[in-house]
Amino acid sequence: MIRKFYLLSSPGPVSERISLGEGESLEACVLALPGYSGSLELTVDLEGRGASADIYGAYLCTGAEDVSLRVDMNHNVPSCHSRQLFKGIAGGTAKAAFRGLVKVAKDAVQTEAYQETHNILASDSARVEADPQLEIYADDVQCSHGATVGHLDELAQYYMRSRGIPEQEARVLQMISFLAPVLQHLPEEVREDLTARVESELRAL
């Protein structure tokens, strides 16, 4: 198992290419914190049967950040698995973008590849671009992608407020819950501290 953690806190670009051989697996987690402006470009090449890659990412932009995340997942051989889940919250005048490409080569049958990106606009001035893509050149595959950009669920907030939870606290709880599926994949040694930092930033948003 190859484990990677990308903590994006200092401005600038980050780029890496990872090749996985037969039976190898990758679990990667990406976290972009407030104040970070820059780009991450991650390329994963699945080159051996039975290789797998799971990538989880989250960004939190609260000011005027400009964040770009890109993942290229190349299924080059049969019987490989990949999953991507990216979630983000943009406030202030921030700009954020996720671009992902899953490419399944001609002979890469029995591929399983899933890609999702979900985003919340926390202000009217924030902007998010979500662009997941599939290029499939093989039959007998299971592949899907999806993208959403929206606002906080007003019905869920109303439900919490009707049970005595103040409006601001309801918003914070909803945002924490939204990011939780990614935050739970942070490395164990930093998970508690970084989750607490994210919660603190959300309360200040």
Picking from 171, 121, 173, 169, the residue whose alpha carbon sits closest to that of residue 148 is 121
Q: Going residue by residue through the chain (205 aa), what tens digit of pLDDT does each one get?
A: 999 999 998 888 899 999 999 999 999 999 999 999 999 999 999 999 999 999 999 999 999 999 999 999 999 999 999 999 999 999 999 999 999 999 999 999 999 999 999 999 999 999 999 999 999 999 999 999 999 998 877 777 666 667 777 778 888 889 999 999 999 999 999 999 999 999 999 988 7
Q: End-to-end distance of the chain based on CA atoms, in angstroms? A: 37
d(CA 28, CA 1): 10
> Tokens 């005027």 identify what position?
64
d(CA 60, CA 94): 10
Picking from 122, 130, 17, the residue whose alpha carbon sits closest to that of residue 61 is 122
* Helical ranges in the chain per DSSP H: 154-161, 167-183, 188-204
pLDDT at 159 (0 to 100): 63
pLDDT by residue (tens digit) across 79-118? 999 999 999 999 999 999 999 999 999 999 999 999 999 9
How many CB atoms within 10 Å of residue 96? Answer: 24
Q: Which residues pair with 132 in a beta bridge?
A: 100
DSSP class of 50: T
Which secondary-structure segment (H or E) carries 25? strand 25-32
What separation in angstroms does the CA of 15 have from each of 4, 44, 143, 164? 13, 11, 25, 46
